[in-house]
Structure 1
Amino acid sequence: MKDNLFLALLLLLGLAHPAAAQLLQPKPAFSRADSLRGSLTSPLRTCYNLNYYHLDVKLDPAKRFISGSNLFRFSATQDFTQLQFDLFANLQVEKVLYKGKEVPFTREANAVFVTFPQPIAKGSRDEFTVQYSGNPIVAKKAPWDGGMVFTKDAAGKPWVATACQGTGASIWWPTKDQQADEVDSMLISVSVPNGLKNISNGRLRKVTKLKGGYTRFDWAVRNPINNYDVALNVGDYQHFSDSYAGEKGLLTLDYWVLPENLAKAKTQFAANVKPMLKSMEYWFGPYPWYQDGYKLVDAPHLGMEHQSAVAYGNKYQNGYLGRDRSNTGWGTKWDFIIIHESGHEWFGNNITTKDIADMWVHEAFTTYSEALFVESQFGKPAGQEYIHGQRRNIQNDSPIIGPYGVNQEGSGDMYDKGSNLLNMLRTVINDDAKWRQLLRGLSSTFYHQTVTGQQVIDYFNRESGQDLTKIFDQCLRHRSLPTLEVRLEDGKTLARWVSEVPDFDMPVRLRLKGGDYQLIPLTTKFAVIKELAGATRENLEVDTFNYYIGVLVE
C-alpha cells in the first residue's frame, strides 16, 4: 500500500517517468551564435545605451526586398573602440558610417562588430549609421516563427507585415537585438509603392510623395520601445478612429483595416476595445502609451503585441479564431486577440524582461488579464471559472523560466500555468483590494522599464508583506506541481507539502464538506490540523479550484 501511494505521489510530481524527469532530460546544446544573440553581459553590448533610432527603409513587395538604413544614437557607458549590433546574416551590411566616413566591421553569425577610428569616451553621446539591404526571411507560420509575411488582399494588392518576437528584430532591420536596452524614442520611415500605406508604431507625422512611384510614411515613437515591437504593416489600408476617456485623459483610438474588413471592424472593435481598456486600466493602471496612442492594425497573421500598433488577425470573431481556449463558454463572449494582445501593452511593452528566459512576466500576466477581463464583464465567479478552464492547456513539460544568456524561452506553460500561479497567489494573499493595488503598483513601479523576473518576485514579496519566493520557485523553476499530502490517522488530520523546493511553505484553503474554507499555513513537515479533526476521505475538501496543486490523501 505504501509503495503504491509513493508511486502515486511520484506521478503527481512528474518524476516517475525517466523520459519526463527534468534531471534526466538532455540539456539543449547552445552555440556561440546563441551567446552572441542572447548575452546581456558582453562588453561589446553593455558599452553603449541606446537613445534614438531613425529606421529609414524602402520596401519592394514584388521582389520581397528591403533596403535602407538605421541611425544609432547612443550614450557610452565606458571607454570603447568596438561595439556589437545585430543583423541576420542573409541581409547585407553595405556600409557603416561614422562622422561621414566608412568604418570597418566584421560579421559572425548574426552579429556585426564595428571598430571606430578613435576611442569613444565614457559619458559621451555619439552616433553611427548602418546601410543595409536584402531579402528578409519569410515567415512560414507567423507569428509563431519570425520573419516577414508577404501576401495579397482580396483585391490582389500587396499585404505585408513583420512578426519577429523571439526570433529577433534583426531578422529584418539592424538593431541592438536584446530586450535589456530599449531605445528611448525613434522615427520609423517606410517607403512603399504608391497606392499602399505603411502603418507603424507611434503617430503618423508626415506622408511624402517620392520619385519613382513611392510614398514615404514617417511614424514617430515618443516612448521607449523594445525591438520586436517595431512593426511594418503595408497594405491598402482604410482608416477610422475613435477616442476613449481614460485615467490619463483622452486616448486616441486609430484603426487601420483592409477595405473588405471595414464594416466588420467597426462592429467588432466597438464591442471589445473600450471594455478592454476599462478593465485593463482598472486592474493595471493607466494605458502606458497615451502619447503614442492606441491602434489596431489588420494583419495577415493571427496577431502580435506591437506597441501602440497591435496587429490583429482574428478574422473579426469572438474567441480564439472562434474557439474557447478555456472550454468554459466564457471565452467566446469576447475577441481573444484584442484582449490578449492589448494586455501586452502593460506586460511585455510597458514592463519588458531583460532576458527572454523571463518571458513568463509578459505571458503569465497577460494571460491572467484575460480572466480579469472576464471578471470585469461577468463577475468574479466567471473569471475564476475561466482561469480554471485554462488548465486544460497546461503541459507541465519543462520549467517556465528558460536558460539565461542564450536567447531561449522556457516552457509554453508560461501562459496558462503562469495565469493559474497568479490566481493562486491572489488566493494566498486573500485580500482582493490589496491584490488590485499590487497589480497597479507593479505597472507604476516598473513603468517603461526593463526588468528581471527576480525583480518582479521581489516586488510581490515586499509589497504583499509575505515571502512568496518558494511558491514562485516551485511553479516557475520546476515542471511539477506542489503536492498536498494528507494523512488521516486516529481521528486526526495531518498535512504537509511535498515539493522540490527545500522548506516549501504555502497556506492552503481546506474545509469539511458543507463548512467554510479556512486558510491553513503548511510546510514540508507534517502538522496536525485541529480545525479538521474527524475528517474523512468523503468529507475533506481542498480548494483545488483556486489552487493548482496535486493532492494525495492517505
Structure 2
Amino acid sequence: MLKNYIALLLILVSSLRSNAQLLQEKKTFTKQNTLRGSITPERAWWDLTYYHLDIAVQPDQKFISGKNTIQYTVLQPHQVLQIDLQNPMVITKVLQDGKALKVTHEGNAHFITLKSTQNRGDKNTIEVYYEGHPREAKRAPWDGGFSWKKDKNGKHFIATSCQGLGASVWWPNKDHMYDEVDSMDISVTIPKGLMNVSNGKLKQIETNNKTITTHWTVKNPINNYGVNVNIGDYVNFSEVYKGEKGPLDLDYWVLSYNLEKAKIHFKDAPKMMKAFEHWFGPYPFYEDSFKLVEVPYLGMEHQSSVTYGNHYKQGYLGNDLSGTGWGLKFDFIIIHEAGHEWFANNITNKDIADMWIHEGFTSYSENLFLDYYYGKGASAEYVIGTRRNIQNDRPLIGVYNVNHEGSSDMYYKGANMLHTLRQLVDDDDKWRQILRGLNSEFYHETVTTEQIEDYLSKHTAMDLAPFFNQYLRTTKIPTLEYQLENGELKFRYINIVDGFAMPIQVEIDKHSEWLFPNAKWQTKTIKSERIEVDKNFYVHTKEI
C-alpha cells in the first residue's frame, strides 16, 4: 500500500500547478479561452507601466474590496481597453480623469470605453474599483484562488495562488503574460493583530483604529500571477547575503510559533542563492529583496515573495521524487520555487503554452543545486531518477492563444531534455555560461520557445531544431536500436522526428565513445561483446 501511495503522490506532483488541466484535455476552446489567452485588439494598443493595487481584506467575511490604479502608454490610438476580472468578483466603476467610464462585460473580460482621445505616446491612467468574495482555492496551488485558513492558534492564515487560472481571479488587471507591469505598489488593509506580506519591499505600516495597512513596493517588472497577498500571525527574521551584485536582503516571514524551527530550516535559502547565482547569474531582483513566506498550501514562485508550505521537511513533504536519496538533501519547495526567480520571473513565457520554459529549467535547477554541493554524479543520479515521473501523455508545448498549458511532463521531461543537452555541449564551463547568458540576454523579458531554441542553437553551435521538435513537440522518446554480432555493431534511431540525429555516448570495452546514429543503419567494428548506453542521455534502447 505504501508503494501505491507514493506512486500516486508522484503522479500528483508531476502535475504541480496544473490549474488549466481540464482545459488542456479539450480539443475545442471557447471565446472566453481566446479572450483570456490571446493578445486581443483591446490589449495590443496599450503598454502596461504601473499598478497600484489598494485593497481591504475582511477575513471573517472572506471579502475583498478596493481598486487598482493602472497606468499605461498608448502605442496606437484606440478607445476600448480590456481589463480582466473573474466571477464572482465584480467591477463597480472605472474612472479616468475623474470621469466614470462605460464598461461592457463579456464573461471574465471587461471592455472599457475611454472618453478622452488616446494619442500615441500618451501616458494615461484609469482606476478600476471592484469587490466581492473571490474564488476559494480548494486544493491550492493547483486550482488557485484565496486560501482562507486558520493557524493552530485559531488565527487567520490567508494566502493567494493563481498560476494558470490567472491573477484576475482576485484582482483586475491586464491578465496576459506577454505584458509585464514595469513597477507596482501593493497596499493591503487588514484587521489589527495580523500582518500582510506581499512582493517587493515594505515601505510603511499604517496603523488605524481597528486595522493596519501595509504598503509594499516592487521596483522591477513583475508578472501578474507572481503578485500575492499573505496574511497571518507573522514574525520576521532576516539576513544579508553577499551576492554577485552586492548585499541582498533575505527576509523570512513565518508563523510566530514556527520561528525557531524556521531559523534552522531556512538555511537552505542562502545555500540556494549561492548555487543559483553560480549557475544562472545574479539574482534578478536585488532592489526588491528575496523573501520566503510561510503559507497554508505547498508553495509558489511569487516574485521576491516565494511562498512556503513544505512543513519544514526535506524533499517534497518528506519524500524524494527521484527515488535516489538525493532528493532528501534539500527542501524541495525552497529550491524549486526559488529557482523560478530566474526561470518564470526573470525569463517569463509570453504564452502559457510555453510554460515548459518555467518548469523545465526550474526542475533542472534542482539537480544543479545538487551538482554545486554534492558533485556531478549526484546531480546526474537525481535527474535520471526523476524520469519515473514522466508519463509522455502529451507534448510539452500547449496550444497558443487560448491559455492552454502543455503536459505536466514539462517538469521532469523538460529537466531530462536539458540534462541531455548538457551532455552534447560536453563542456561544463561552457554550459554554465550558456545558462548565465540566457538570464542576461532575456533579463526581465517575456519570451517564446523559438527565442530560447534559437539562443541555445546559436551558443551551442548546433542545429537543435530536430532535438527540440523531438522532445518538446512529440511524446516520442528516441530509441537506439542496435545489434552486436561477431564484432560488428549495427545501430540506428527509431521513434524519431525527421532530421533527428543526436550523437550519443556509449561504453565499449570500458571506454567511452561517441556514436552518431540517425534513421539509417550504420555499422562499427568493435572488439567488445557488449555496449552500454550512457544513462545521461534521455533515450530508450532496444537490442535486436
Query: 2: CA distance between counterparts of 1:184 and 1:118?
Result: 24
Alignment match, 1:320: 316
Q: State the shift of 1:89 in Å.
A: 2.4
Select which of 514, 519, 522 maps to 1:519: 514
Q: Which deviates the most, 292-301 or 465-474?
A: 465-474
Paired amino acid for 1:525: K
Is 1:528 the counterpart of 2:523? The answer is yes
Structure 1 residues 67 and 478, CA, compared in 2 at 3 Å: closer, same or farther?
A: same
Q: What per-residue deviation string (whole Å, max 9, x for no partner) do you get for residues 494-534 of structure 1?
A: 222224421211101123242x211222222222234xx35
Q: State the shift of 1:317 in Å.
A: 1.2
Query: 2: CA distance between counterparts of 1:378 and 1:485?
Result: 34
Q: What per-residue deviation string (whole Å, max 9, x for no partner) do you get for residues 359-411 of structure 1?
A: 10000111111001111111110111001111111111110100111101000
Q: State the shift of 1:540 in Å.
A: 1.6
Q: What per-residue deviation string (whole Å, max 9, x for no partner) do you get for residues 45-74 of structure 1?
A: 111111000000000000000000001100
Alignment match, 1:401: 397
Alignment match, 2:17: none
Q: State the shift of 1:209 in Å.
A: 1.7
Alignment match, 1:268: 265
Alignment match, 1:548: 538
Query: 2: CA distance between counterparts of 1:243 and 1:44?
Result: 44
Query: 1: CA distance between counterparts of 2:25 and 2:368?
Result: 38
Alignment match, 1:30: 29
Map residues 286-435 of structure 1 onto 2, 5 A cutoff: 286-435=282-431
Query: 2: CA distance between counterparts of 1:122 and 1:499?
Result: 52
Contact 2:67–2:127 (Cα < 8 Å) also in 1:
yes
Is 1:215 the counterpart of 2:206? The answer is no
Alignment match, 2:488: 492
Give the CA RMSD over aligned residues: 1.3
Alignment match, 1:239: 236
How many pairs were matched up?
Answer: 521
Q: State the shift of 1:26 in Å.
A: 7.9
Contact 1:493–1:535 (Cα < 8 Å) also in 2:
no
Select which of 221, 224, 228 maps to 1:227: 224
Map residues 116-131 of structure 1 onto 2, 5 A cutoff: 116-131=114-129
Alignment match, 2:277: 281
Alignment match, 1:472: 468
Alignment match, 2:15: none
Alignment match, 1:136: 134
Contact 1:165–1:228 (Cα < 8 Å) also in 2:
yes
Contact 2:477–2:496 (Cα < 8 Å) also in 1:
no
Is 1:186 the counterpart of 2:180? The answer is no
Q: State the shift of 1:535 in Å.
A: 5.2
Query: 2: CA distance between counterparts of 1:390 and 1:292?
Result: 33
Q: What per-residue deviation string (whole Å, max 9, x for no partner) do you get for residues 262-317 of structure 1?
A: 111000012x1111111000000001111000101010000000111110001011
Paired amino acid for 1:432: D
Q: Which deviates the most, 30-39 or 488-497?
A: 488-497
SS in 2 for 1:80: coil
Alignment match, 2:153: 155
Paired amino acid for 1:261: N
Select which of 42, 45, 49 maps to 1:51: 49
Contact 1:184–1:223 (Cα < 8 Å) also in 2:
yes
Paired amino acid for 1:344: H
Q: State the shift of 1:78 in Å.
A: 1.0
Contact 1:495–1:528 (Cα < 8 Å) also in 2:
yes
Q: State the shift of 1:493 in Å.
A: 1.9
Contact 1:478–1:500 (Cα < 8 Å) also in 2:
no
Structure 1 residues 27 and 61, CA, compared in 2 at 3 Å: closer, same or farther?
A: closer
Query: 1: CA distance between counterparts of 2:156 and 2:488?
Result: 72
Q: State the shift of 1:542 in Å.
A: 1.2
Paired amino acid for 1:528: T
Paired amino acid for 2:104: T
Q: Which deviates the most, 77-86 or 521-530?
A: 521-530
Q: What per-residue deviation string (whole Å, max 9, x for no partner) do you get for residues 229-257 of structure 1?
A: 00000111101111110100010011111
Query: 1: CA distance between counterparts of 2:524 and 2:100?
Result: 75
Q: What per-residue deviation string (whole Å, max 9, x for no partner) do you get for residues 201-243 of structure 1?
A: 00000111234x1111000000000000000001111011111
Q: TM-score, normalised by structure 1?
A: 0.92
Paired amino acid for 1:529: K
Select which of 446, 449, 467 maps to 1:453: 449
Q: TM-score, normalised by structure 2?
A: 0.94
Query: 1: CA distance between counterparts of 2:487 and 2:334?
Result: 53
SS in 2 for 1:281: helix
Q: What per-residue deviation string (whole Å, max 9, x for no partner) do you get for residues 309-344 of structure 1?
A: 110001011111011111111111211110110000
Paired amino acid for 1:104: K
Alignment match, 2:502: 506
Q: State the shift of 1:470 in Å.
A: 1.1
Query: 1: CA distance between counterparts of 2:362 and 2:164?
Result: 17
Query: 2: CA distance between counterparts of 1:119 and 1:517?
Result: 69
Query: 1: CA distance between counterparts of 2:104 and 2:222?
Result: 27
Query: 2: CA distance between counterparts of 1:324 and 1:265?
Result: 21
Structure 1 residues 392 and 83, CA, compared in 2 at 3 Å: closer, same or farther?
A: same
Query: 2: CA distance between counterparts of 1:26 and 1:196?
Result: 41
Structure 1 residues 523 and 27, CA, compared in 2 at 3 Å: closer, same or farther?
A: farther
Contact 2:48–2:181 (Cα < 8 Å) also in 1:
yes
SS in 2 for 1:62: helix
Is 1:108 the counterpart of 2:98? The answer is no
Contact 1:154–1:260 (Cα < 8 Å) also in 2:
no
Query: 2: CA distance between counterparts of 1:103 and 1:500?
Result: 56
Contact 1:257–1:298 (Cα < 8 Å) also in 2:
yes
Query: 2: CA distance between counterparts of 1:269 and 1:490?
Result: 58
SS in 2 for 1:120: coil
Alignment match, 1:5: none
Contact 2:509–2:528 (Cα < 8 Å) also in 1:
no
Q: Which deviates the most, 482-491 or 58-67?
A: 482-491
Paired amino acid for 2:384: H
Query: 2: CA distance between counterparts of 1:507 and 1:527?
Result: 13
Contact 1:474–1:499 (Cα < 8 Å) also in 2:
no
Contact 1:484–1:549 (Cα < 8 Å) also in 2:
yes
Instruction: State the identity %.
Output: 50
Q: What per-residue deviation string (whole Å, max 9, x for no partner) do you get for residues 174-213 of structure 1?
A: 01001110000000000000111110000000111234x1
* Structure 2 residues without counterparts, runs of 5 or longer: 1-23
Q: State the shift of 1:440 in Å.
A: 0.5
Query: 2: CA distance between counterparts of 1:553 and 1:151?
Result: 55
Contact 2:51–2:183 (Cα < 8 Å) also in 1:
yes
